[in-house]
A and B are shown apart, each in its own frame.
Chain A
Amino acid sequence: MAVISDIFKLVILLCCGVALYLFAQGVAVSASLPEDRTDIQYHYYDGGGVEVDGATVLVRKSFAQKFSVYGKYHQDSITGASPDVLAGASRYSEDRDEYTLGASYIHDNTLMNAFYTYSDESDYEANTAGFDISHDMFGDLTTVSLGFSYGDDTIMRVDAPNFEEDLRRYQYRVSLSQILTKKIKASVSYEATVEDGFLNNPYRFVIIGNVPQGLGSEVYPGTRTSQATRIQATKYWDFKAATTLGYRYFRDTWDITAHTVDFTYSQYLGERWLTDFYLRYYTQDAADFYSNNFAVARNYMARDKELSTFDNYSVGAKVSYRIFDEYSRFNNGTINLSAEYIDYEYDDYSGIEDFSQITDDPYSFDAAVLQLFFSVRY
Chain B
Amino acid sequence: MQSNYLIFISVLIGLVGCSNKPIEPWVAPYEREHLADPIMDPDRDAVFSAFRQHVHETREASKGAGAAQGSGCGCN
Which partner residue on chain A sits nearest B24 by CB separation? A139
Partner of B5 from the list A9, A72, A236 (CB cut-off 8 Å) is: A9
| Interface pair A139/B47, CB less than 8 Å apart | no
A24 and B12 within 8 A (CB): no
Complex CA–CA separation, A203 to B1 (angstroms): 41
A-side contacts of B51, CB under 8 Å: 41, 43, 56, 74, 371
Given that A229-B65, A236-B40, A369-B52 are known contacts, is A13 also in contact with B60, CB under 8 Å in the complex? Answer: no
Q: Does A189 contact B (CB under 8 A)?
A: yes
Q: Is A176 an interface residue (CB 8 A)?
A: no
Q: Which listed residue (B23, B59, B69) contacts A149, Cβ 8 A? A: B69
Interface assignment of A112: CB less than 8 Å from any CB of chain B: no
19 CB < 8 A contacts A-B: A13-B8, A14-B8, A25-B19, A78-B74, A85-B76, A98-B71, A98-B72, A118-B71, A149-B69, A171-B69, A179-B27, A182-B31, A228-B64, A234-B40, A234-B42, A248-B62, A252-B61, A284-B60, A369-B52
Which B residues touch A58, using CB under 8 A?
A: 46-47
A interface residues, Cβ below 8 angstroms from B: 6, 9-10, 13-14, 17, 20-21, 24-25, 27, 30, 39, 41, 43, 45, 48, 50, 52, 56, 58, 72, 74, 76, 78, 81-82, 85, 92, 96, 98, 100, 115, 117-121, 124, 126-128, 130, 138-141, 149, 151, 153, 171, 173, 175, 179, 181-183, 185, 189-193, 201, 203, 226-230, 234, 236, 240-242, 244, 248, 250, 252, 254, 256, 258, 260, 264, 266, 268, 274, 276, 280, 282, 284, 287, 306-307, 312, 314, 318, 336, 338, 340, 342, 344, 367, 369, 371, 373, 375
Smallest Cβ-Cβ distance to B8: which chain A residue: A13
Please count the residue pairs between chain A and chain B whose beta carbons lie under 8 angstroms apart in the complex: 208
Cα(A185)–Cα(B42), bound, Å: 12
Cβ contacts under 8 Å, A268 to chain B: 39
Question: Which one of B25, B61, B69, B70 contacts A139 once the chains associate, using CB atoms below 8 Å?
Answer: B25
B76/A50 in contact, CB under 8 A:
yes
CB distance from B2 to the nearest CB of A (A): 10
CB closest residue in chain A, given B75: A201
CA distance A153 to B75 in the complex (A): 14
A119 to B70, CA, bound (A): 9
Cβ distance B23 to chain A, nearest Cβ, rounded Å: 5
> Beta-carbon contacts of B37-50 to A below 8 Å, as 1s and 0s?
11111100111101
